[in-house]
Amino acid sequence: MKYNTTRADCTIDDYLESFVNKYTFPSWQRDEGWSRDYKEDLIFSILDGVDIPKIYIAKIKGTKFQYIMDGGHRSRAILEFKNNVFPLESEKGKYIYYDKKFSHNTRNNEVLSNDLKEQFNNFPLTIVTYNNIEETDCKNIFNRLQNARPMDIEDVINSDLSPFVDFIRELINYKINSKTITEHFENIQGLSEARTKVMTQLISWFSIIYPNQNANEPWENALKYINKGNKNKSPLLDFIKKKKTGVTENIKNEFIEHIEFIFNYIDNCPNKKIAPTDLNTLIHSRIYVDNFNINKFNNLIKNVDIYKNMKSSAEKLNKDKKYDESKELNKQADIINSQLSSKLENYMKARRNGGNAPSGMKTRLDIVRLLCIN
């Protein structure tokens, strides 16, 4: 397919006017991820007259949208420097801003000379515009452009050409108890609130609840895809690739009900912040364990944490040569463990070593089947 493209050179000053007023970022593009060092390197390159890569714009057919397909990080860094959001650090330890006015000691702060400002503002950028392009083609081109750059697995998933991924992307702004799903993630240990990472976690939960039905036992198949892996090997991405047709309205509504249960549980979690491994086990158990008792599950998690803390404290006492106290605390921990069929140690190890891999999930599921049913 031959695309209608135009190519033009413009100055940074002219480009920033369009960047601020006309261009936007598609929701399926990766989030801001450049460090301060990356941004500084770009600005130094511009001031040194080093050629930088082209910026790609997409004018989406039938809409007013003009997306930055590639070059968003560069665009943001250039605008931030001109707005004095960050300085350049010189070899002499000086902090050089574009034109910041200082209200206190300026000994280590400087601004660009007029000549360097002019050089920066007039630096030529090459803009390639895809005119009247379908959004699906825009995603395809974006993925091609990224082949030369490392992308996190979350970025790869976010840019996948899938109605299913589109549904998940829209879902992250769904509100439960007056908070968006993204905002709820602050109450889960170790999970990021970044948009693409939230999407990835939601897809992982979807794979537990609605596994691809190609195994004899759905509960076993539901363990196969929850690991996001990496760009080279991602079970979760394999799951997405098999869902090109998207999801029905009934499944969408059902999944939202499951998500509401999850976040209502998190909001009222008796054990404060819940670990992701325990949350996955809860979701899996609720679907696949007959006569599952959530109160017994809460009691199990509470006792696992008590046991873990007692064992850790006993180990510290032993290192401090408080052997009698360590022995007594270990004895108390072992009593608690024995009251729950000596499974607390197994659960703790499966949480720590097995994680969300099928082996760890299966071990915890077997314990739930033993201890958490009516």
pLDDT tens digit string along 249-261? 999 999 999 999 9
Gap between the Cα atoms of 202 and 197, Å rounded: 9
Query: Residue 373's pLDDT band (boundaries 50, 70, 90)?
Result: very high
Gap between the Cα atoms of 121 and 23, Å rounded: 19
Gap between the Cα atoms of 226 and 207, Å rounded: 6
Token pair listed for 8? 């033009």
Residue 147's contacts (CB-CB under 8 Å, 6 or more residues apart) are none
Q: What is the 8-class DSSP label of residue 100?
A: P
Gap between the Cα atoms of 318 and 359, Å rounded: 32
pLDDT tens, 232-242?
Answer: 678 888 888 77
pLDDT tens, 48-76?
Answer: 888 888 999 999 999 988 999 888 889 99
Mean predicted lDDT score pLDDT of the chain: 86
Q: Is the pLDDT of residue 150 over 60?
A: no
pLDDT tens, 276-307?
Answer: 889 889 999 998 899 999 999 999 999 999 99
pLDDT at residue number 267:
83
The residue with tokens 């920033």 is 16
Task: State whether residue 326 is helix, strand or coil.
Answer: helix
Q: What is the 8-class DSSP label of residue 225?
A: S
Gap between the Cα atoms of 245 and 166, Å rounded: 11
CB 54 within 8 A of CB 15: no
CB atoms within 10 A of CB 215: 13
- b (16+ CB within 10 A) / e for 246-265: ebeeeeeeebeebbeebbeb
Gap between the Cα atoms of 336 and 333, Å rounded: 5
Element (H, E) at 256: helix 249-267
Residues in the chain: 374
| Most confident by average pLDDT, 180-194, 203-217, 295-309 | 295-309
CB 160 within 8 A of CB 38: no
Task: State whether residue 358 is helix, strand or coil.
Answer: helix
Q: What is the 8-class DSSP label of residue 113?
A: -
Domain regions of the chain by residue span: 5-149, 152-268, 291-374
Q: What is the 8-class DSSP label of residue 99?
A: S
CB 236 within 8 A of CB 168: no
CA 269, distance to chain mean position in Å, is: 23
Average pLDDT on 260-269 reads 88
| Among candidate residues 372, 374, 362, the one with its CA nearest the CA of residue 303 | 372
pLDDT at residue number 213:
62
Q: Where are the alpha helices (DSSP H) in 133-229?
A: 135-146, 153-158, 163-171, 181-184, 195-209, 218-221
Token pair listed for 182? 């993204």
